[in-house]
């Protein structure tokens, strides 16, 4: 079945750019039936939607992060990516990549912890 | 953005208990509401979507109801593996939002 796997640095310095990739296996990222996105969870806290990207290429971002976020897709690699610029300690969190259809976020990656620290 | 509240924020229960968690949206979201279960150190798992539709593979002791602004998740007979944190989430708007979570622990 379809699986998602996040990858990227676990430690990022303040003011730098956090970059993560989600690799999709067991299915195609190009399906028009689904869209893809990122969720994060600071330690001991709740879930925060970061943004989503659709088959058409349209993107939607959390207004609180919009000025710093870019989500993109690489169909040739069956991957999608997250870039979050100008990070601070408040961006320390577990980052999850997700798949969604018309029925909420049905598949999640295992999550990757990213710490922002010098 | 649509705000989501949940109550209670935590509860203690025993195996076999019936548990109900409430979720309220700041505006009408029809039935565009999902429930997730998260265990420590794990990714959330989709339990229910469209307010009341059970995701494939989820035990039938879980059920959801509601529409508009008020929703509930019910666990009819709590099992040991159900001790976890539960989140609701609206997907009516493209600006998706989650509730703050309800932690269910052992009494």
Interface test with A, best of B36, B94, B99 (most A CBs within 10 A): B94
Short-list B90, B80, B99, CA closest to B17? B80
Give residue A96's pLDDT.
Answer: 98
* Cβ neighbours of B43 in A, within 8 Å: 96, 108-111
Closest C-alpha among B82, B38, B95, B84 to residue A111: B38
DSSP A25-73: ESS-TT-TT-EEEEEEE-TTS--EEEEEE-TTS-EEE-TTTGGGEEEEE
* B96 to chain A, closest Cα gap in Å: 6
Contact B1 A63 (CB under 8 A): yes
Q: What is the pLDDT of residue A51?
A: 96
pLDDT in single tens digits along all 118 residues of chain A: 999 999 999 999 999 999 999 999 999 898 888 999 999 999 999 999 999 998 778 899 999 999 999 999 999 999 999 999 999 999 999 999 999 987 799 999 999 999 999 9
CA distance A104 to A112: 21
pLDDT of residue A102: 76
Interface of B with A (CB under 8 A): 1, 34, 36, 42-46, 49-50, 53, 55, 87, 89, 91, 94-101
Residue pLDDT, tens place only, B22-79:
999 999 999 999 999 999 999 999 999 999 999 999 999 999 999 999 999 999 999 9
**Could you say which of B46, B55, B101 has the minimum Cβ distance to residue A46?**
B101
Binary contact (B43, A111; C-beta < 8 A): yes
pLDDT category of residue B16 using cuts at 50, 70 and 90? very high
pLDDT at A79: 94
CA atoms within 13 A on the CB side of A99: 25
- A103 interface with B at CB cutoff 8 Å: yes
Please tell me the predicted confidence (pLDDT) of residue B21: 98
Cβ of residue A65 closer than 8 Å to a chain B Cβ: no
Distance from CA of A5 to the nearest CA of B (A): 12
pLDDT of amino acid A105: 95
In angstroms, the separation between the Cα of residue A80 and the nearest Cα of chain B is: 19
Closest-approach residue (CA) in chain A for B54:
A103
The answer to whether the Cβ–Cβ distance between A104 and B95 falls below 8 Å is: no
C-alpha gyration radius of chain A: 13
pLDDT for B73 equals 98
pLDDT at B19: 97
Per-residue confidence (pLDDT) for residue B106, from 0 to 100:
87
């Amino acid at each position: 079945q379809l699986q998602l796997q996040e990858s990227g640095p676990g430690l990022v310095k303040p003011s730098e750019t956090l970059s993560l990739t989600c690799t999709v296996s067991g299915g195609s990222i190009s399906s028009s039936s689904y869209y893809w996105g990122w969720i994060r969870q600071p330690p001991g806290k709740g879930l925060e939607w970061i943004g989503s990207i659709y088959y058409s290429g349209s993107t939607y971002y959390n207004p609180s992060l919009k000025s710093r976020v870019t989500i993109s897709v690489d169909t040739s690699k069956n991957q999608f990516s997250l870039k979050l610029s100008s990070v601070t300690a408040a961006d320390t969190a577990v980052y999850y990549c997700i798949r969604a259809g018309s029925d909420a976020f049905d598949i999640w990656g295992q999550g990757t912890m990213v710490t922002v620290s010098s | 953005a649509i705000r989501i509240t949940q109550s209670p924020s935590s509860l203690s229960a025993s195996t076999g208990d019936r548990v109900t968690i409430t979720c309220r949206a700041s505006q009408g979201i029809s039935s565009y509401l999902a429930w997730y279960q998260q265990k420590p150190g794990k990714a959330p798992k989709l339990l229910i979507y469209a307010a009341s539709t059970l995701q494939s593979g989820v035990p039938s002791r879980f059920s959801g109801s509601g529409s508009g602004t008020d929703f509930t998740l019910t666990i009819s007979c709590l099992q040991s593996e159900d001790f976890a944190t539960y989140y609701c989430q609206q997907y009516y708007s493209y600006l998706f939002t989650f509730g703050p979570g309800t932690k269910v622990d052992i009494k």
